Amino acid sequence: MGRKIFMNGKFVDEQQAKVSVFDHCLLYGDGVFEGIRLYQGCVFRLNDHIERLYSSAKYIMLKIPMTPKAMIEAVCETVRRNGLRDGYIRLVVTRGVGPLGLAPWQCKNPTVFIIADKITLYPAEFYEKGLSIVTVPTRRNHVESVNPRVKSCNYLNNILAKIEASIAGALEALMLDHNGFVNECTGDNVFLVKKGVLITPPIYLGALRGITREVVMEIAREERIEVREQPFTRFDVFDADELFLTGTAAEVIPVVNVDKRPIGTGKPGAITKRLIRQFRARTATDGVMVYQ
Ligand code: PXG
Protein backbone atom coordinates (compact mmCIF):
# COMPACT_ATOMS: atom_id res chain seq x y z
CA MET A 1 0.00 0.00 0.00
CA GLY A 2 1.47 3.35 -1.04
CA ARG A 3 1.26 6.72 0.59
CA LYS A 4 -1.94 8.76 0.64
CA ILE A 5 -1.46 12.33 -0.43
CA PHE A 6 -3.72 15.28 0.36
CA MET A 7 -4.33 17.00 -2.94
CA ASN A 8 -6.70 19.97 -3.20
CA GLY A 9 -9.09 18.71 -0.56
CA LYS A 10 -9.02 15.01 -1.49
CA PHE A 11 -6.86 12.06 -0.51
CA VAL A 12 -5.31 10.26 -3.46
CA ASP A 13 -2.80 7.43 -3.92
CA GLU A 14 0.71 8.66 -4.50
CA GLN A 15 0.58 7.46 -8.13
CA GLN A 16 -2.36 9.81 -8.71
CA ALA A 17 -0.80 12.74 -6.88
CA LYS A 18 0.41 14.76 -9.84
CA VAL A 19 0.78 18.43 -10.72
CA SER A 20 0.67 19.85 -14.22
CA VAL A 21 3.76 20.87 -16.19
CA PHE A 22 1.91 24.22 -16.50
CA ASP A 23 1.91 24.77 -12.74
CA HIS A 24 3.90 27.95 -12.12
CA CYS A 25 5.58 26.37 -9.12
CA LEU A 26 7.31 23.99 -11.52
CA LEU A 27 7.83 26.60 -14.24
CA TYR A 28 9.05 29.47 -12.02
CA GLY A 29 9.44 28.21 -8.45
CA ASP A 30 6.31 30.22 -7.64
CA GLY A 31 4.93 28.73 -4.45
CA VAL A 32 5.49 28.34 -0.72
CA PHE A 33 6.02 25.38 1.56
CA GLU A 34 6.57 24.10 5.07
CA GLY A 35 8.62 21.19 6.38
CA ILE A 36 7.14 19.90 9.62
CA ARG A 37 8.08 17.09 12.03
CA LEU A 38 5.87 14.48 13.63
CA TYR A 39 7.06 13.02 16.93
CA GLN A 40 5.16 10.19 18.67
CA GLY A 41 1.88 11.11 17.04
CA CYS A 42 2.27 14.80 17.78
CA VAL A 43 2.83 17.41 15.03
CA PHE A 44 5.58 19.61 16.40
CA ARG A 45 4.67 23.31 16.58
CA LEU A 46 2.02 22.86 13.92
CA ASN A 47 0.35 26.20 14.62
CA ASP A 48 3.66 28.05 14.17
CA HIS A 49 4.30 26.31 10.85
CA ILE A 50 0.83 27.14 9.56
CA GLU A 51 1.20 30.76 10.63
CA ARG A 52 4.52 31.00 8.80
CA LEU A 53 3.00 29.39 5.69
CA TYR A 54 0.30 32.07 5.51
CA SER A 55 2.88 34.82 6.11
CA SER A 56 5.03 33.46 3.26
CA ALA A 57 1.97 33.29 1.00
CA LYS A 58 0.96 36.85 1.85
CA TYR A 59 4.43 38.14 0.94
CA ILE A 60 4.16 36.65 -2.57
CA MET A 61 0.46 37.63 -2.83
CA LEU A 62 -0.71 34.05 -3.04
CA LYS A 63 -4.16 33.49 -1.60
CA ILE A 64 -4.33 30.06 0.01
CA PRO A 65 -7.77 28.62 -0.78
CA MET A 66 -8.25 27.16 2.72
CA THR A 67 -8.47 28.61 6.20
CA PRO A 68 -5.56 28.00 8.59
CA LYS A 69 -7.91 25.87 10.69
CA ALA A 70 -8.80 23.66 7.71
CA MET A 71 -5.10 23.41 6.86
CA ILE A 72 -4.27 22.21 10.37
CA GLU A 73 -7.00 19.58 10.10
CA ALA A 74 -5.75 18.54 6.63
CA VAL A 75 -2.22 18.01 8.01
CA CYS A 76 -3.53 15.88 10.89
CA GLU A 77 -5.79 13.86 8.60
CA THR A 78 -2.89 13.20 6.18
CA VAL A 79 -0.86 11.82 9.07
CA ARG A 80 -3.79 9.64 10.19
CA ARG A 81 -4.46 8.28 6.68
CA ASN A 82 -0.81 7.20 6.50
CA GLY A 83 -0.83 5.73 10.00
CA LEU A 84 2.37 7.55 10.91
CA ARG A 85 3.62 8.27 14.42
CA ASP A 86 7.02 9.72 13.56
CA GLY A 87 7.94 11.40 10.32
CA TYR A 88 8.15 14.41 8.14
CA ILE A 89 5.30 16.40 6.63
CA ARG A 90 5.79 18.46 3.49
CA LEU A 91 3.05 20.99 2.86
CA VAL A 92 3.18 22.86 -0.46
CA VAL A 93 0.98 25.58 -1.94
CA THR A 94 1.76 26.30 -5.57
CA ARG A 95 0.63 29.25 -7.67
CA GLY A 96 -1.33 26.77 -9.78
CA VAL A 97 -1.79 26.14 -13.48
CA GLY A 98 -1.55 29.03 -15.94
CA PRO A 99 -0.33 29.94 -19.40
CA LEU A 100 3.39 30.30 -20.07
CA GLY A 101 4.63 33.68 -18.88
CA LEU A 102 5.38 34.94 -15.38
CA ALA A 103 2.03 36.62 -14.67
CA PRO A 104 0.77 34.95 -11.48
CA TRP A 105 -2.74 36.45 -11.84
CA GLN A 106 -3.28 34.11 -14.80
CA CYS A 107 -3.20 31.20 -12.36
CA LYS A 108 -6.69 30.92 -10.95
CA ASN A 109 -6.40 27.93 -8.62
CA PRO A 110 -3.46 27.35 -6.29
CA THR A 111 -2.60 23.69 -5.76
CA VAL A 112 -2.36 22.51 -2.16
CA PHE A 113 -0.73 19.18 -1.41
CA ILE A 114 0.50 17.50 1.75
CA ILE A 115 2.87 14.55 1.96
CA ALA A 116 3.43 12.65 5.21
CA ASP A 117 6.46 10.43 5.05
CA LYS A 118 9.57 9.25 6.88
CA ILE A 119 12.62 11.43 7.30
CA THR A 120 16.29 10.55 7.03
CA LEU A 121 18.37 12.32 9.62
CA TYR A 122 22.00 13.21 9.71
CA PRO A 123 23.79 10.04 10.91
CA ALA A 124 23.75 9.81 14.75
CA GLU A 125 27.54 10.17 14.93
CA PHE A 126 27.30 13.85 13.90
CA TYR A 127 25.15 14.62 16.95
CA GLU A 128 27.91 13.18 19.15
CA LYS A 129 31.00 14.32 17.26
CA GLY A 130 29.67 17.46 15.59
CA LEU A 131 29.68 18.71 12.01
CA SER A 132 32.48 20.35 10.03
CA ILE A 133 31.13 23.09 7.78
CA VAL A 134 32.50 25.73 5.40
CA THR A 135 31.62 29.29 4.41
CA VAL A 136 30.56 29.44 0.77
CA PRO A 137 30.91 32.21 -1.84
CA THR A 138 27.18 32.45 -2.66
CA ARG A 139 25.59 35.11 -0.47
CA ARG A 140 22.11 34.72 1.02
CA ASN A 141 19.43 36.53 -0.99
CA HIS A 142 19.29 40.24 -0.23
CA VAL A 143 16.32 41.09 2.02
CA GLU A 144 15.10 43.58 -0.58
CA SER A 145 15.44 40.99 -3.37
CA VAL A 146 13.69 37.84 -2.19
CA ASN A 147 13.43 38.15 1.56
CA PRO A 148 14.78 34.91 3.10
CA ARG A 149 11.85 35.02 5.54
CA VAL A 150 9.65 33.65 2.77
CA LYS A 151 9.83 29.87 2.66
CA SER A 152 9.38 29.81 -1.08
CA CYS A 153 9.66 26.92 -3.49
CA ASN A 154 12.62 28.66 -5.10
CA TYR A 155 15.60 27.36 -3.12
CA LEU A 156 18.26 27.96 -5.78
CA ASN A 157 20.14 30.36 -3.50
CA ASN A 158 20.46 27.60 -0.90
CA ILE A 159 21.04 24.85 -3.46
CA LEU A 160 24.00 26.73 -4.95
CA ALA A 161 25.44 27.05 -1.45
CA LYS A 162 24.84 23.36 -0.80
CA ILE A 163 26.73 22.46 -4.00
CA GLU A 164 29.62 24.69 -2.97
CA ALA A 165 29.75 23.05 0.47
CA SER A 166 29.71 19.62 -1.10
CA ILE A 167 32.57 20.54 -3.48
CA ALA A 168 34.53 21.55 -0.38
CA GLY A 169 33.69 18.19 1.24
CA ALA A 170 31.25 19.59 3.84
CA LEU A 171 27.65 18.65 4.61
CA GLU A 172 26.48 22.20 5.34
CA ALA A 173 27.31 25.71 4.15
CA LEU A 174 27.61 28.81 6.29
CA MET A 175 25.97 31.64 4.33
CA LEU A 176 26.79 35.34 4.71
CA ASP A 177 24.80 38.38 3.66
CA HIS A 178 26.10 40.99 1.19
CA ASN A 179 27.87 42.82 4.06
CA GLY A 180 29.67 39.74 5.28
CA PHE A 181 27.48 39.14 8.32
CA VAL A 182 26.67 35.52 9.11
CA ASN A 183 23.05 34.70 8.23
CA GLU A 184 22.24 31.01 8.35
CA CYS A 185 22.96 27.71 6.62
CA THR A 186 21.16 26.20 3.63
CA GLY A 187 18.42 24.60 5.72
CA ASP A 188 19.26 25.57 9.29
CA ASN A 189 19.67 28.61 11.52
CA VAL A 190 22.95 29.19 13.31
CA PHE A 191 23.82 29.94 16.94
CA LEU A 192 27.12 30.57 18.69
CA VAL A 193 27.97 30.51 22.38
CA LYS A 194 30.52 32.99 23.74
CA LYS A 195 31.27 33.29 27.46
CA GLY A 196 27.99 31.60 28.33
CA VAL A 197 25.84 33.87 26.11
CA LEU A 198 23.82 32.44 23.22
CA ILE A 199 23.96 34.60 20.09
CA THR A 200 22.07 34.21 16.80
CA PRO A 201 21.74 36.59 13.83
CA PRO A 202 18.64 38.82 13.91
CA ILE A 203 16.04 37.89 11.32
CA TYR A 204 16.18 41.34 9.70
CA LEU A 205 19.66 40.52 8.36
CA GLY A 206 18.04 37.94 6.08
CA ALA A 207 17.32 34.50 7.47
CA LEU A 208 14.30 32.29 7.83
CA ARG A 209 12.56 32.74 11.19
CA GLY A 210 13.16 29.09 12.03
CA ILE A 211 10.71 27.39 14.33
CA THR A 212 13.46 25.27 15.88
CA ARG A 213 15.38 28.53 16.41
CA GLU A 214 12.42 29.96 18.35
CA VAL A 215 12.10 26.81 20.46
CA VAL A 216 15.82 26.81 21.30
CA MET A 217 15.66 30.48 22.34
CA GLU A 218 12.66 29.68 24.57
CA ILE A 219 14.49 26.77 26.18
CA ALA A 220 17.61 28.86 26.72
CA ARG A 221 15.62 31.61 28.45
CA GLU A 222 13.95 29.01 30.68
CA GLU A 223 17.41 27.67 31.50
CA ARG A 224 18.50 31.21 32.40
CA ILE A 225 21.00 31.36 29.55
CA GLU A 226 21.28 34.89 28.17
CA VAL A 227 20.10 35.06 24.53
CA ARG A 228 20.99 37.83 22.09
CA GLU A 229 19.90 38.37 18.52
CA GLN A 230 22.79 40.33 17.15
CA PRO A 231 24.85 40.47 13.92
CA PHE A 232 28.23 38.75 13.89
CA THR A 233 30.97 37.89 11.40
CA ARG A 234 33.13 34.85 10.61
CA PHE A 235 35.65 36.20 13.12
CA ASP A 236 33.09 35.71 15.89
CA VAL A 237 32.34 32.23 14.58
CA PHE A 238 36.02 31.19 14.71
CA ASP A 239 36.29 32.81 18.13
CA ALA A 240 33.17 31.15 19.57
CA ASP A 241 33.24 28.66 22.43
CA GLU A 242 30.46 26.60 20.84
CA LEU A 243 28.46 26.57 17.63
CA PHE A 244 25.33 24.70 16.59
CA LEU A 245 22.62 24.65 13.94
CA THR A 246 18.86 24.35 14.33
CA GLY A 247 16.23 23.16 11.87
CA THR A 248 13.23 20.91 11.52
CA ALA A 249 15.26 18.25 9.73
CA ALA A 250 18.52 18.58 11.70
CA GLU A 251 16.92 19.45 15.08
CA VAL A 252 19.84 20.82 17.13
CA ILE A 253 23.23 19.71 15.81
CA PRO A 254 26.69 20.73 17.05
CA VAL A 255 29.29 22.24 14.71
CA VAL A 256 32.92 21.68 15.74
CA ASN A 257 34.84 23.01 12.77
CA VAL A 258 34.32 25.94 10.39
CA ASP A 259 36.66 26.62 7.45
CA LYS A 260 39.20 24.26 9.05
CA ARG A 261 39.22 26.19 12.35
CA PRO A 262 38.21 24.08 15.35
CA ILE A 263 35.44 25.73 17.36
CA GLY A 264 36.17 25.94 21.10
CA THR A 265 37.63 22.62 22.22
CA GLY A 266 36.80 21.03 18.85
CA LYS A 267 34.09 18.96 20.57
CA PRO A 268 30.36 19.66 21.10
CA GLY A 269 30.08 22.11 23.99
CA ALA A 270 28.25 21.78 27.29
CA ILE A 271 25.54 24.35 26.52
CA THR A 272 24.90 22.79 23.10
CA LYS A 273 24.51 19.35 24.68
CA ARG A 274 22.16 20.73 27.32
CA LEU A 275 20.00 22.40 24.65
CA ILE A 276 19.93 19.19 22.57
CA ARG A 277 18.70 17.24 25.61
CA GLN A 278 16.03 19.82 26.43
CA PHE A 279 14.93 20.08 22.83
CA ARG A 280 14.45 16.31 22.55
CA ALA A 281 12.49 16.29 25.78
CA ARG A 282 9.86 18.61 24.39
CA THR A 283 9.44 17.29 20.85
CA ALA A 284 6.55 15.03 21.75
CA THR A 285 4.80 17.51 24.04
CA ASP A 286 4.99 20.75 22.10
CA GLY A 287 2.51 20.30 19.30
CA VAL A 288 -0.83 19.04 18.10
CA MET A 289 -1.83 15.45 18.96
CA VAL A 290 -3.03 13.66 15.86
CA TYR A 291 -4.54 10.57 17.48
CA GLN A 292 -6.95 11.52 20.25
N1 PXG B 1 16.81 28.29 7.26
C2 PXG B 1 16.41 27.79 6.09
C3 PXG B 1 16.88 28.41 4.84
C4 PXG B 1 15.56 26.68 6.06
O5 PXG B 1 15.14 26.17 4.89
C6 PXG B 1 15.60 26.64 8.48
C7 PXG B 1 16.43 27.75 8.44
C8 PXG B 1 15.16 26.11 9.81
O9 PXG B 1 13.78 26.43 10.04
P10 PXG B 1 12.84 25.49 10.89
O11 PXG B 1 11.54 26.19 10.94
O12 PXG B 1 12.77 24.16 10.19
O13 PXG B 1 13.46 25.37 12.25
C14 PXG B 1 15.15 26.07 7.28
C15 PXG B 1 14.24 24.89 7.29
C16 PXG B 1 13.66 20.14 3.45
C17 PXG B 1 13.48 20.88 4.70
O18 PXG B 1 12.84 19.30 3.13
C19 PXG B 1 13.98 22.17 4.84
C20 PXG B 1 13.80 22.83 6.04
C21 PXG B 1 13.14 22.24 7.08
C22 PXG B 1 12.62 20.97 6.92
C23 PXG B 1 12.80 20.27 5.73
O24 PXG B 1 14.62 20.40 2.72
N25 PXG B 1 14.32 24.09 6.15
Protein residue whose Cα sits closest to atom 18 of ligand 1: 35
Which of the four pLDDT bands, split at 50, 70 and 90, describes residue 272?
very high
CA nearest 258: which of 167, 121, 125, 165?
A: 165
Instruction: Determine the pLDDT at residue 122.
Output: 83
Instruction: Determine the pLDDT at residue 1.
Output: 66
Instruction: Report residue 52: phi and psi, to 5°.
Output: -65, -35
CATH code for position 32: 3.30.470.10
| Domain co-membership, 66 together with 141 | no
Q: Pick the range with the lowest mean pLDDT from 120-124, 236-240, 250-254.
A: 120-124
Please give the Cα distance from 90 to 38 (Å, whole number): 11
222 has a pLDDT exceeding 70: yes
| Domain co-membership, 134 together with 274 | yes
Q: How confident is the model over 215-221, as a mean pLDDT?
A: 98
| Domain co-membership, 129 together with 112 | no
- Kindly give the distance from the C-alpha atom of residue 99 to the centroid of ligand 1, in angstroms, as a whole number: 31
- For the entire predicted model, the pTM comes to 0.97
CATH code for position 215: 3.20.10.10
- Kindly give the distance from the C-alpha atom of residue 270 to the centroid of ligand 1, in angstroms, as a whole number: 25
Q: Does residue 113 sit within a domain? A: yes
Residues with CB under 6 A from ligand 1: 35, 158, 184, 187-189, 208, 210-213, 246-249
**Tens-place pLDDT, residues 26-75:** 999 999 999 999 999 999 999 999 999 999 999 999 999 999 999 999 99
| Domain co-membership, 278 together with 148 | yes
- Kindly give the distance from the C-alpha atom of residue 107 to the centroid of ligand 1, in angstroms, as a whole number: 27
Sign of the C-alpha dihedral computed for residues 166, 117, 210 and 219 taken in this order: negative
The rounded percent of the chain whose pLDDT value lies above 90 is 96
The domain containing residue 267 runs over which residues?
125-282
Mark whether 58 is an active-site residue: no
The whole-chain average pLDDT of the chain stands at 97
Which of the four pLDDT bands, split at 50, 70 and 90, describes residue 120?
confident
Q: How confident is the model over 186-205, as a mean pLDDT?
A: 98
Number of domains in the chain: 2
Instruction: Determine the pLDDT at residue 237.
Output: 98
| Domain co-membership, 39 together with 102 | yes
Q: Cβ distance 88 to 38 under 8 Å?
A: yes
Q: How confident is the model over 1-30, as a mean pLDDT?
A: 96
